[in-house]
Structure 1
Amino acid sequence: MKPSAHVLDLFAVPDDVRSVPGGRGYSVVAGDLVLSPGRDEAVSGWLNPILAPLAAELDHERPRSLRVAMPIPTRELQWVVDGWGATRFEPDARQCRDLDVLLATGRLLHARLASRVTSPPPGIGDRTDRWARAARVAFGESQPTGIPNEMVPLVSHLMAALDDTGFGPDQLVHGDLAGNVLLDADGIPLVIDVSAYWRPVLWAEAVTVLDGVVSMGADAGVMAGWSSGPRRQAMLRAAIFRLLSDERLRVGDYRTALGPVLS
């Protein structure tokens, strides 16, 4: 997939584009920008004005411990054109696969977001994509529909284990951190593709742990730390969220990873 000449012109980058390794394989580098398709104009309209000043602030801190990819508007000050959005390209950045680093990065990011965003941004509850729908089911705000037959027993088991144990206040969180943290040329974590939710931090951390185990080869022993109390409730909701939004139907992988949580 390649952005049109119109998109490239508005973002003021050359027509010489190349694919970005990793992710879903759809993003491209053009000039000094990474262009990514499938961006929601409404979400970008409220999220990017939060991320841009945070990215600038973090880039000027010394010593640096965290970075956020800088969103870049078009020359007409649009965040999204024909579904394409842009961030500044970071040469020599590589994917972070260390779960401990991912968790530490999430804690730093969420502390920054909590201090900057103290109430739900307008529009954050308006998403209707499959991830937003899955999150609503996980938090008991709607009922699941259209679940594939092979997934029903595990989802039913997870939902039956839910209770009203609290695990923290809602705030702005990145609900897809694993796979979306790079290490820049200096080894500083760089957060990309923020998938924004107004949910508890512990839930976002549980999603990161689950993704690390199921998708990134992290030590499954970490799941034992999520087998009781508030952490278990966060992990149950993370698992429901992932099962209902993951189109790859990796039911066996999730069931194996969740063994300590469900026993």
Structure 2
Amino acid sequence: MHDTDAAAPAVEVLRAFGGGEARPRPLAGGRGLTWRAGDLVLRPHDGRVVTDWRSAVLATLPHTAEFRTPRPVAARHGGWRVGSWEAWEWVPGAADEHRVEDVLRAGAAFHRAVAHLDRPAFLDEGDETVAPNDAWRRADRIAWGEAPMLHDPTLQRLGAAFRPVRSSPQLVHGDLLGNVLFTEGQPPTIIDWPPTWRPAGTGLAIAAVDAVCWHGVPTDRLAALGAGIPEWRQFLVRALAFRVATLHLLGAWDGAAVVRHRPVVDAVA
């Protein structure tokens, strides 16, 4: 976490978003780049195209009893960005990675709510408005056979288990588990949406794999977590390949990571 004033949004940014004189304080998560100032949450935006598209979608997306999202906050000039920053309303709550069934239920409701939206152009490979591929985007393409598989025994094993997926793609939240906040008396709040275009089961499977690999959820619960989801096993294989490939590309795939992931690989591959 960055806890120095140098990393915080400037007072001019706060004023532009209507934040007054509240002193920004760093929040946990968000790669140490997210700040709260009063009723505002500020974070570096993801570029003009992605930020403006996502803010416009979430500004009017209907909420239900099963999920909600923070609303973006427009600047005084009417846009969604000020300098390198975007702003969102502060919504109380805390993530609980052990409540994986509740996370999946909220994620499924969110996916139903955005299922009617068209694929945004910025997700197309080669779009010059998008920054060069990052590790997560490249790993996603590897997991779906759109980029060459890395030379690693675990990934080769997972790749051998790939089968064609017939479920239709749509907009998906690709990092649900730590980004669903719970608070008493309110629907779960889904934050930090990294939009991807995959079958909806993909986002749910990534959350399930994360819960087993990193939060002590037993491996034998994987099947039950996907009850009623067509092609669930294939989504688990792709989700695991995505996470392993990401660790490779970030230079974090080591002996300890192999041991941590082996039981899940054995279960799905």
Into which bin does the TM-score normalised by the smaller protein fall?
0.7 to 0.9
SS of corresponding position for 1:235 = helix
Shift of 1:122: 2.3
Counterparts in 2 of 1:82 and 1:215: CA distance versus 1, 3 Å: farther
Equivalent residue pairs, number: 245
Name the CA distance, whole Å, in 2 between partners of 1:44 and 1:218.
34
Task: Tell me whether 1:7 sits opposite 2:34 in the alignment.
Answer: no
Is the 1:167–1:231 contact (alpha carbons within 8 Å) kept by the matching residues of 2? no
Shift >6 Å, 4+ stretches: none
- Mean Cα displacement is larger for which, 124-133 or 235-244? 124-133
Is the 2:24–2:36 contact (alpha carbons within 8 Å) kept by the matching residues of 1? yes
Q: What is the aligned-residue identity percentage?
A: 32
Shift of 1:178: 0.6
Is the 2:171–2:195 contact (alpha carbons within 8 Å) kept by the matching residues of 1? yes
Is the 2:25–2:35 contact (alpha carbons within 8 Å) kept by the matching residues of 1? yes
Name the CA distance, whole Å, in 2 between partners of 1:169 and 1:110.
12
Residue 24 (structure 1) aligned to one of 12, 31, 45? 31
Is the 1:224–1:261 contact (alpha carbons within 8 Å) kept by the matching residues of 2? no
Counterparts in 2 of 1:84 and 1:123: CA distance versus 1, 3 Å: same
Task: Tell me whether 1:101 sits opposite 2:102 in the alignment.
Answer: yes
- Mean Cα displacement is larger for which, 246-255 or 28-37? 246-255
Counterparts in 2 of 1:251 and 1:41: CA distance versus 1, 3 Å: farther
SS of corresponding position for 2:156 = helix
Name the CA distance, whole Å, in 2 between partners of 1:25 and 1:6.
21
Shift of 1:84: 2.2
TM-score, structure 1 normalization: 0.84
2:137 equivalent in structure 1: 132
Name the CA distance, whole Å, in 2 between partners of 1:187 and 1:33.
19
2:70 equivalent in structure 1: 69
Amino acid across the alignment from 1:76: H
Output one character per residue of 1:16-49: Cα deviation in whole Å (capped at 9) or x when no partner: 0112234433311012111122533321121221
Task: Tell me whether 1:39 sits opposite 2:46 in the alignment.
Answer: yes
2:4 equivalent in structure 1: none
Shift of 1:77: 2.6
Output one character per residue of 1:129-184: Cα deviation in whole Å (capped at 9) or x when no partner: 22111111111111146x6xxxx1111111122122x2410001101111000013
1:184 equivalent in structure 2: 183
2:209 equivalent in structure 1: 210
SS of corresponding position for 2:196 = strand
SS of corresponding position for 1:68 = coil
SS of corresponding position for 1:237 = helix
Name the CA distance, whole Å, in 2 between partners of 1:187 and 1:53.
19
Counterparts in 2 of 1:84 and 1:218: CA distance versus 1, 3 Å: farther
TM-score, structure 2 normalization: 0.82
Name the CA distance, whole Å, in 2 between partners of 1:207 and 1:83.
29
Is the 1:171–1:199 contact (alpha carbons within 8 Å) kept by the matching residues of 2? yes
Output one character per residue of 1:180-232: Cα deviation in whole Å (capped at 9) or x when no partner: 00013424200000110110011111111011112233232223457xx8222
Name the CA distance, whole Å, in 2 between partners of 1:162 and 1:192.
30
Output one character per residue of 1:244-263: Cα deviation in whole Å (capped at 9) or x when no partner: 2233433322222222112x
Task: Tell me whether 1:199 sits opposite 2:191 in the alignment.
Answer: no
Counterparts in 2 of 1:158 and 1:178: CA distance versus 1, 3 Å: same
2:167 equivalent in structure 1: 168
Counterparts in 2 of 1:209 and 1:85: CA distance versus 1, 3 Å: same
Amino acid across the alignment from 1:238: A
2:3 equivalent in structure 1: none
Counterparts in 2 of 1:184 and 1:257: CA distance versus 1, 3 Å: same
Name the CA distance, whole Å, in 1 between partners of 2:83 and 2:216.
36
Name the CA distance, whole Å, in 1 between partners of 2:73 and 2:214.
30
> Structure 1, unaligned stretches of length 5 or more?
none
2:232 equivalent in structure 1: 231
Is the 1:46–1:123 contact (alpha carbons within 8 Å) kept by the matching residues of 2? no
